[in-house]
């Protein structure tokens, strides 16, 4: 028995081969079944699109085992999909988020040069989408995944961090490097034992020392690819540095930490607090901001933290903006 997954029919472009079978979900009073609509090696043509429009069908289905092929199709046709105004913004944002999550999952399974280059290209396209689509901010934040995995965390942090950096006035090119750096910021964890990363209880001193190595390991991996990264190195290296000098791996403080590193630190903590982790349940965004101010404020550049509080109210639909003014004092 196959499991089937829904996809947005608008994500399939005319005159392309998807690389996986596409199905219609047919419901009758007696039975529900999946009927083959377009074979994996067939060209999806105008007739296919026309019938879907005529019948007002917005969802097609793929077999669960074909999910990887579908995500590869999305990556290869990403620019055309995100610029297609016929696809609602919320649906395009779901495509962006799911494709990014799959990409980073691939990256963490195989952190070689090809995967890193794919991530960099995707990050640049993701920024283009955010810049050209005004409603992308709210829709991307709405669909953030609240169960912690290293790859979903990386995508969440990239979405929130890129939108925040845009709000701070980053230029387009700087925004692209920042987004790529955030997507890649935890790549050093691929060299940490997964039993340590997924441990539900408190880490031993030795285990925590191992975890603390991941920023420098991340830089090593990026340098091994020879891609000439700049901001990406610093985000990977500095996202656990605290403003008061108590962070790691180098104990930097104040303006020894670059602006991109300071921003990454704020976003990294915020997402960790608002997602379910192996050792702690998620808390609501406003409660996370309160905890960051009351218990961790020395970790952050206070000016940037106040800016983030302002940003999080109107942009995060789960937050409580009417209370955020108290956090800015």
What's the pTM? 0.85
Residue 69 lies in a domain: no
Residue 176 in any domain: the answer is yes
Residue 224 has what pLDDT?
A: 87
Give the pLDDT confidence score for residue 149 in this predicted structure. Answer: 66
Of the two residues 38 and 78, the one the predictor is more confident about is 38
Per-residue pLDDT of 151-168, as tens digits, reads: 788 888 998 999 999 999
Residue 227 has pLDDT above 80, yes or no: no
Q: Does residue 253 sit within a domain? A: yes
More confident call, 266 vs 322: 266
Q: Do 86 and 188 lie in a common domain?
A: yes
Residue 40 lies in a domain: yes
- Range of lowest pLDDT (21-30, 47-56, 70-79, 147-156): 147-156
- Owning domain of residue 323: 77-328
Domain total for the chain?
2
Domain contains 70: no
**Predicted pLDDT at 323:** 53
| Banded model confidence at residue 245, pLDDT cuts 50, 70, 90 | very high
pLDDT at 318 over 50: no
Is 217 a member of any domain? yes
- Asked if pLDDT for residue 177 goes beyond 60, the answer is yes
Q: Mean pLDDT over all residues of the chain?
A: 87
Residue 240 lies in a domain: yes
My answer on whether 92 and 34 are in the same domain is no
Q: Is the pLDDT of residue 146 over 60?
A: no
Q: Which residues of 42-66 are buried (b: 16+ CB within 10 A; e: fewer)?
A: eebeeebbeebeeeeeeebbbbeeb
Please report which residue ranges of 133-258 form alpha helices under DSSP H.
Answer: 136-142, 150-167, 172-183, 194-197, 205-211, 214-225, 231-238
In a shared domain, residues 23 and 91: no
Which residue, of 38, 64, 90, is where some domain finishes? 64
Q: In angstroms, rounded to a whole number, what is the distance separating the alpha carbons of residues 178 and 233?
A: 10
Q: How far is CA 329 from CA 32, 72, 254, 280, in A?
A: 57, 47, 20, 28
Residues in contact with 224: Cβ distance below 8 Å, sequence separation at least 6, in sequence order:
113
User: What is the sign of the dihedral through the CA atoms of 128, 131, 134 and 136?
Assistant: positive
The answer to whether the CB of 53 falls within 8 A of the CB of 94 is no
Residue 325 pLDDT class (50, 70, 90 cuts): low
Sign of CA dihedral 83, 85, 89, 95: negative
- In the chain, DSSP finds a helix count (H) and a strand count (E) of 15, 4
Do 316 and 217 share a structural domain?
A: yes
| Length of the chain in terms of residues written | 329
322 pLDDT exceeds 50?
no
Q: Does 114 or 316 have the greater pLDDT score?
A: 114
- CA distances to 38, 127, 155, 316, 321 from 286, in Å: 47, 26, 21, 10, 8
106-132 pLDDT, tens digit per residue, is: 888 888 878 888 899 899 988 988 888
Q: Is residue 226 scored above 80 in pLDDT?
A: no
Within-domain flag for 72:
no
In three-state secondary structure terms, 22 is strand
- Co-location of 218 and 265 in the same domain: yes
184, 278: one domain: yes
Share of the chain above pLDDT 90, in %: 55
Domain finish residue from 15, 43, 64? 64
Are residues 92 and 236 located together in one domain of the fold?
yes
Q: 302 pLDDT band (50/70/90 cuts)?
A: very high
In 3D space, the residue among 212, 214, 167, 169 whose CA is nearest the CA of residue 191 turns out to be 214
| Token pair in block for residue 29 | 């009073």
């Amino acid at each position: 028995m196959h499991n089937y997954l829904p996809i947005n029919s608008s994500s399939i472009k005319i005159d392309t081969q998807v690389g996986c079978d596409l199905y219609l979900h047919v419901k009758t009073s007696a039975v529900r079944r999946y009927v083959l609509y377009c074979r994996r090696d067939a060209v999806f043509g105008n007739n296919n699109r026309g019938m879907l429009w005529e019948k007002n069908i917005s969802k097609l289905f793929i077999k669960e085992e074909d999910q990887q092929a579908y995500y590869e199709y999305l990556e290869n046709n990403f620019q055309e999909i995100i610029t297609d105004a016929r696809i609602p913004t919320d649906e395009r944002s779901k495509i962006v988020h799911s494709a990014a999550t799959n990409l980073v999952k691939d990256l963490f399974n195989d952190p070689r040069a090809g995967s890193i280059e794919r991530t960099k290209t995707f990050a640049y396209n993701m920024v283009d989408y955010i810049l050209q689509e005004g409603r992308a901010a709210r829709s991307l934040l709405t669909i953030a995944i609240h169960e912690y995995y290293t790859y979903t965390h990386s995508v969440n942090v990239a979405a929130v961090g890129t939108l925040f950096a845009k709000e701070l006035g980053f230029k387009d090119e700087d925004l692209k490097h920042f987004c790529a750096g955030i997507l890649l910021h935890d790549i050093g964890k691929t060299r940490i034992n997964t039993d340590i990363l997924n441990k539900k209880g408190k880490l031993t001193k030795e285990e925590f020392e191992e975890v603390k190595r991941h920023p420098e390991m991340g830089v090593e991996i990026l340098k091994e690819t020879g891609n000439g990264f700049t901001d990406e190195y610093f985000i990977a290296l500095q996202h656990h540095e605290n403003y008061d000098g108590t962070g790691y791996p180098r104990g930097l403080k104040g303006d020894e930490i670059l602006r991109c590193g300071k921003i990454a630190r704020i976003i990294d903590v915020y997402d960790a607090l608002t997602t379910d982790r192996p050792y702690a349940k998620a808390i609501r965004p406003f409660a996370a901001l309160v905890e960051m101010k009351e218990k961790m404020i020395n970790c952050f550049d206070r000016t940037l933290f106040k800016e983030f509080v302002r940003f999080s109210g109107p942009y995060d639909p789960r937050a409580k903006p009417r209370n955020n003014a108290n956090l800015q004092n």
